[in-house]
Chains A and B, each alone.
Chain A
Amino acid sequence: MFLALRELSFARGRFALMGSVVALIAVLMVLLSGLSVGLVNDGVSGLKKLPVSSFAFEAGVDESAAFTRSMVEIDKAEMWVDVPGVADAAPFGLTLVNTRTDRGVDIDLALFGVELDSWLLPTAATGSDLSGPGQILLAGTLADEGVAIGDVVVVDQIDKELEVVGFVDGQHTFGHVDVGYVDLSTWQEIRAGARPGDEVPNHVYRWVTAIAVLNEGDAEPDVAAADEMAGTTTMTLEESFGASPGYTAEVMTVQMIQWFLYAISALVVGAFFTVVAIQRRQEIAVMRAMGASTGYLLRDSITQSVILLVVATAVGLGIGLALGAGLSATEMPFALYPSAVAAASAFLVLLGLVGAAFGVLRVTRVDPLTALGASR
């Protein structure tokens, strides 16, 4: 401790430089972590908040675009209700529409169609729940964008009018657009492109996007058999995230950047400590000659690295969190989960330590008398 601390304070400039690099990496890491969680939320928070275990889509549907392509007959819900281990099943409709409120606010919406007596029906945080056709319950975040209870939302092209009756709590998004809940029959008419006053053919009311399935407790229904029986393709809620537009590509991109960042930080920190260890070569050689064991030297250097890494990471985290708080208030999808940030920080410190250990090990292998510059 005594040696490592002394060196930290003696070579202040050198360690401050390295500390700021580590801190910057930590800042970047926090921001990336926030961005990745934010993107995930922006893509699928509406789905995440559904009390659903899995979705049964049309058999053989393109799994990367299931929500937009799938068409399932509504009565398959009853077949799914009877599957052992399934608590309940209900028809679910999803379609993306462009709308404008009567006060001139343009909003893109992911319309979730649910039956009014269904367990899928959300509870309004402000205003009232859905109670009939022609009503819409919007994501809470839209209240900040100039939409109010009592406004009328008009669906582009078909001029269908929906009255805003309330807001659900917080962010509900699908494919980066806000979610609006409507009655299933209203959803089916919009999906069919029916204008007000049009006669809607009966078959329109027979189709939905998917059957939402809720398992009993921890039960795992025999999905393959049920799919076979009902003629569906089932994805768990998690799997269905991949069916949200662009979700997989976004998540993979951000994750790849994160892994690169980890690799770079390990290399940078490792290289720095190698250089520090090489600079300390003579000192390490003297200490070895005086009888310091390799273990002692490792402990000494690792202590030094831990102090540097932990302090620098903490500073970086602080800056990152402060910046993140600023970003959360902007349009940028950004959300921080303490567990994700903590894990990433621990990983950064760990990688730094591995790099530091390598640096010291290399030097302890050097022939001490060569390092001591014996002149023979």
Chain B
Amino acid sequence: MIAPVVELRGVSRVFPAGDVSVTALVDADLVVEPGDYVAVVGPSGSGKSTMLNILGLLDRPTSGTYLLEGIDTSTLSEGQRAGLRSRRIGFVFQSFHLLSHRTVLENVLLATIYNRMPRSERLPAAEEALRRVGLGHRMDFLPTRLSGGERQRVAIARAIVTRPALLLADEPTGNLDSATGESVLAFFDELRNDGLTLIVVTHDDKVSQHAERQVRLRDGRIERAA
């Protein structure tokens, strides 16, 4: 039996804030199997970003266990977590976060450097990822010359070039007009059909409807994990 890509067991995250402490995530249980497409939804302040931080290994839970592909991440060092992040997780951000003074190709190549992909495989992998998102003809462009939709596709290419197990997307269509957003979501569907596991954090119903499962957060608690 293959381990779930993500397994949260009783995960809580408490932020100390002076004398009082803020509990951003309470006792969260979540299992995401390989190939799942999950949308995490909820109002502002509901703990979505905390959950994304923890899922992306950018933050550690205060209590509880997070297994990524069966690996208990709580026992790993920062270096090991960074390594795991570079190999197994891809990020797509709302505002793309491409490095503006590097070309499209270099932006995608960056991910392969941290990933410690063998040098000879980097360029072919980056070119392949860009062709896959339909930007094979834009490789030498600077991101500033691309449209919003194209930038987000570069960001997706950057996220998938390392062939991660899990793609985390944070409001991926938030900065795009609806037609462009729709095309990005269609591409997510395509990735999902190819077997990639996706977790999308959003407050947009149109986005969450693409997912096969919605996880609704309210005040740090998971309301429904259908």
Contact A287 B110 (CB under 8 A): yes
Q: When each residue 258-284 of chain A gets 1 if its CB lies under 8 Å from chain B and 0 otherwise, what string results?
A: 000000000000000000000000110
Asked if A374 and B170 sit within 8 Å, CB to CB, the answer is yes
- B78 engages A286 (CB within 8 Å): no
Task: Return chain A residues, CB-CB under 8 Å to B83.
Answer: 291, 293
Residues from chain B with Cβ under 8 Å of A288 in the complex: 58, 82
Chain A proximity mask over B30-59: 1 for CB below 8 Å, otherwise 0: 000000000000001100110011001011
Residues of B near A372 (CB, < 8 A) are 93, 95, 97, 170
Interface of chain B: mostly helix, strand, loop or mixed: mixed
For A11, give the chain B residue with the smallest CB separation: B101
Question: Does A373 sit within 8 A of B, measured CB to CB?
Answer: yes
Distance in angstroms from A361 CB to nearest chain B CB is 13
List B residues 177-226 near A (Cβ within 8 Å): 201, 203
Residues facing B in A1-46 (CB within 8 A) are: 2-3, 6-7, 10
Are A369 and B52 touching (Cβ within 8 A)?
Answer: yes
A287-303 residues at the B interface, CB under 8 angstroms: 287-296
Q: Which residues in A have their C-beta under 8 angstroms from that of B58?
A: 288-289, 367-369
Min distance, Cβ B13 to any Cβ of chain A, angstroms? 12
- Chain A stretch 59-107: residues in CB contact (< 8 A) with chain B: none
Indicate if the CB atoms of A375 and B78 lie closer than 8 Å: no
Chain B contacts for A367, CB-based, 8 A: 53, 58-59
Q: From B101, which residue of chain A is reached at the shortest CB distance? A: A10
Interface centre among A3, A289, A374 (most CB of B within 10 A): A289
Q: Interface on A for B, CB 8 Å cutoff?
A: 2-3, 6-7, 10, 282-283, 285-296, 367-369, 372-376
Given contacts A289-B91, A291-B87, A291-B114, 7 further A-B contacts (CB under 8 A): A290-B158, A291-B89, A293-B79, A293-B82, A296-B82, A374-B93, A376-B203
Query: Sorted from nearest, which 5 A-B pairs have the closest CB atoms?
Result: A291-B86, A293-B82, A10-B101, A291-B85, A291-B114
Q: Mark B92-122, 1 if CB is under 8 A from A, else 0.
A: 0111010101100000001101110000000
Residues of A within 8 A of B101 (CB): 6-7, 10
Which residue, A286, A288, A291, A368, has most C-beta atoms of chain B within 10 A? A291
Chain A residue, CB-CB nearest to B91:
A289
Q: Contacts A6-B101, A376-B44 given; indicate if A294 touches B110 (C-beta within 8 A).
A: no
Chain B residues closer than 8 Å to A3, beta-carbon distance: 110
Q: Does B148 make an interface contact (CB < 8 A)?
A: no
Q: Cβ of B82 and Cβ of A294 under 8 Å apart?
A: yes
Whole-angstrom distance between the alpha carbons of A2 and B112 in the complex? 13
> For residue A296, which residues in chain B have a CB less than 8 angstroms away from its CB?
82, 114
> When the two chains form the complex, which single residue of A2, A295, A369, A373 contacts B79, counting CB atoms closer than 8 Å?
A295
Q: List 18 A-B contacts (CB under 8 A).
A: A283-B99, A286-B97, A286-B99, A287-B114, A289-B85, A291-B83, A291-B84, A291-B86, A291-B87, A293-B79, A296-B82, A367-B58, A367-B59, A368-B58, A374-B49, A374-B52, A374-B170, A374-B171
Once the chains bind, are B111 and A375 in contact (CB under 8 Å)? no
Assembled-state Cα–Cα distance A282/B94 (Å)? 13
Are the C-beta atoms of A293 and B78 separated by less than 8 Å? yes
Q: Which residue of A lies closest to B93 (CB)?
A: A372
Q: Does B174 contact A (CB under 8 A)?
A: yes
Whether the pair B97, A375 counts as a contact (CB closer than 8 A) is no
**What is the CA–CA distance of A300 and B113 in the complex, to the nearest angstrom?**
13
Write the chain A residue with the least CB distance to B115.
A291
Residue of A10, A290, A368, A373 near B86 (CB, 8 A) is: A290
With a cutoff of 8 Å between Cβ atoms, the chain B residues found around residue A283 in the complex are 99
Chain A's nearest CB lies how many Å from the CB of B138?
Answer: 19
